[in-house]
Amino acid sequence: MVPTAPPPLAVPDHIDRAAEEEPNAIWAWVPRSSSSVDQGWRDITFAQLAQAVDSLAWSLEETLGVSDPIGQTIGYIGPNDLQYLVVLAAALKVGYVPLLVSPRNSPEGQQSILKETECTLFLSTPDRHRCFEDIQKVAPNTQIVEVPLLLDLLDPSHRPPHYDGRHRRDGAANSLILHTSGSTGLPKAVRLTVGGLNSVYEQANLGREQGRQSTMKLFLADQRLMLAAVPFFHAMGIVVGLRSLMCRSSIATLPSGKLWNASLVIGAIAAINPATGVFPPSILEDMSGTEAGFHALGRLDTVFFGGAPLANASGEKLCRVTKLQTIIGSTEALLIPSLDTTAPDEWGYFHWSDAAGAVMEPAENELYELVLERRDTSCQAVFQTLPGEEKWLTKDLFRQHPTKPFLWKYSGRRDDTIVLSNGEKVNPVSMEKCIESHACVKGALVVGQGRFQTGLLIEPERDGAGMIDSATLVEHIWPTVEQANREAPAHARIYQNKIAVTEREKSFERTPKGSIIRLPTVAMFHDEIAALYNDEKFARGSSLESGAHVELRSTIRAVFIDVLASFHEGTLDDVDICSLEVDSLGVLALAEALQTKLQRRDITAATIYQNPTVHELTLALSPGTSRSGATVTLSTTREEQLGAMVRKYTIDMVQQKRVGAERERPSKHTVILTGSTGSLGSQVLKTLVQRPEIEQVYCLDRSDDAETRQRHAFVKYYGMEAGLHKVEFLQADFGLAGFGLEKAVYERLLSSVTIFIHSAWSVNFNLSLSSYEATHIAGTRHVVDFASESVHKSSITFVSSIASVGNWGSVVQDGSAVPESTTTLFDRSIPLLQGYGESKHVAAEILAIASHRLGIQTAIVRASQLAGPSAQASGVAWNRHEWLPSLVHASRVMKKLPRTLGTMEQVDWVPMDVAGATMVDIATASTSQLTRVYHLANPHRTSWRQLYPVIQEFYKSNDVAIGAIEYSDWVHELGQIPLTKENAERVPGLKLLDFYRGLCPETATGLPRLATKKAEAVSPTLREGRAVGGCEVRKWLEQWAL
pLDDT tens digits for 290-326? 888 988 999 999 999 987 778 676 888 888 889 999 9
Judged by DSSP in three states, 451 sits in coil
**Count of beta carbons in the 10 Å neighbourhood of residue 768:** 12
Mutual angle of helices 291-298 and 281-288, in 10-degree steps: 120
Do 12-197 and 669-867 agree at the fold level?
A: yes
Judged by DSSP in three states, 86 sits in helix
DSSP letter for 868, please: S
Q: Confidence band (pLDDT; 50, 70, 90) for 766?
A: low
Q: Which amino acid is at 244?
A: S
- CATH code at 669-867: 3.40.50.720
Judged by DSSP in three states, 666 sits in coil
The whole-number average pLDDT for the span 543-563 is 74
Distance of CA 436 to the CA centre of its chain: 42
pLDDT tens digits for 63-86? 999 998 899 999 999 999 999 999
Q: Confidence band (pLDDT; 50, 70, 90) for 578?
A: low
Q: What are phi and psi of 165, to 5 degrees?
A: 95, 145
Q: What share of the chain is helix, strand, coil (3-state, %, to 5)?
A: 45, 15, 40
pLDDT tens digits for 858-891? 999 999 999 999 988 888 889 888 899 999 999 9
402 preceded by cis ω (within 30°)?
no
User: Are the CB atoms for 611 and 632 separated by under 8 Å?
Assistant: yes
The whole-number average pLDDT for the span 674-683 is 93
CA-based nearest residue to 73, from 109, 11, 132, 116: 116
Q: What residues have CB less than 8 Å from 678, skipping those under 6 apart?
A: 759, 760
Q: Confidence band (pLDDT; 50, 70, 90) for 543?
A: very low
Alpha helices in 289-343 (DSSP H): 291-298, 312-318
User: Are the CB atoms for 449 and 399 separated by under 8 Å?
Assistant: no
Cα dist from 260 to 264, 281, 284, whole Å? 6, 12, 11
Question: Among the CATH numbers 3.20.20.10, 3.30.70.1290, 1.10.357.10, 3.30.300.30, which is that of 428-540?
Answer: 3.30.300.30
Domain 547-636 CATH superfamily: ACP-like (1.10.1200.10)
Beta strands in 95-156 (DSSP E): 97-100, 121-124, 143-146
Q: What is the total residue count of the chain?
A: 1042
CA count, 13 A, side-chain hemisphere, 928: 0
The whole-number average pLDDT for the span 150-172 is 87
CA separation for the pair 251, 249 (Å, rounded): 7
pLDDT tens digits for 481-498? 888 888 777 788 898 888
CA separation for the pair 754, 742 (Å, rounded): 20
Predicted confidence at residue 823, as pLDDT, reads: 84
CA separation for the pair 249, 792 (Å, rounded): 56
Q: What residues have CB less than 8 Å from 98, skipping those under 6 apart?
A: 73, 74, 75, 76, 87, 88, 91, 92, 176, 177
CA separation for the pair 185, 609 (Å, rounded): 44
Cα dist from 623 to 154, 442, 549, 600, 617, whole Å? 57, 40, 9, 12, 12
Judged by DSSP in three states, 10 sits in coil
Sheet-wide strand order for 455-460: 441-447, 455-460, 499-501
- For residue 673, what is the enclosing H or E element? strand 669-674
pLDDT tens digits for 504-542? 888 888 754 456 777 778 888 998 998 888 754 333 332
Q: Output 864 or 980, whichever has higher pLDDT.
A: 864
User: Are the CB atoms for 494 and 431 separated by under 8 Å?
Assistant: yes
255 preceded by cis ω (within 30°)?
no
CA separation for the pair 510, 527 (Å, rounded): 19
Of the candidate ranges 364-368, 742-746, 954-958, 999-1003, the one whose mean pLDDT is the lowest: 364-368
Predicted confidence at residue 205, as pLDDT, reads: 92
- Rounded to 5°, the CA angle 105-109-110 comes to 80
- Domain spanning 12-197, CATH architecture: 3-Layer(aba) Sandwich (3.40)
Judged by DSSP in three states, 685 sits in helix
The whole-number average pLDDT for the span 193-207 is 94
DSSP letter for 1025, please: -
User: Are the CB atoms for 10 and 168 separated by under 8 Å?
Assistant: yes
Spell out the domain ranges in the chain: 12-197, 428-540, 547-636, 669-867, 883-913+940-1040
Radius of gyration of the chain from its Cα atoms, rounded to whole angstroms: 34
Judged by DSSP in three states, 832 sits in coil
Predicted confidence at residue 659, as pLDDT, reads: 44
Predicted confidence at residue 752, as pLDDT, reads: 96
CA separation for the pair 1042, 1037 (Å, rounded): 7
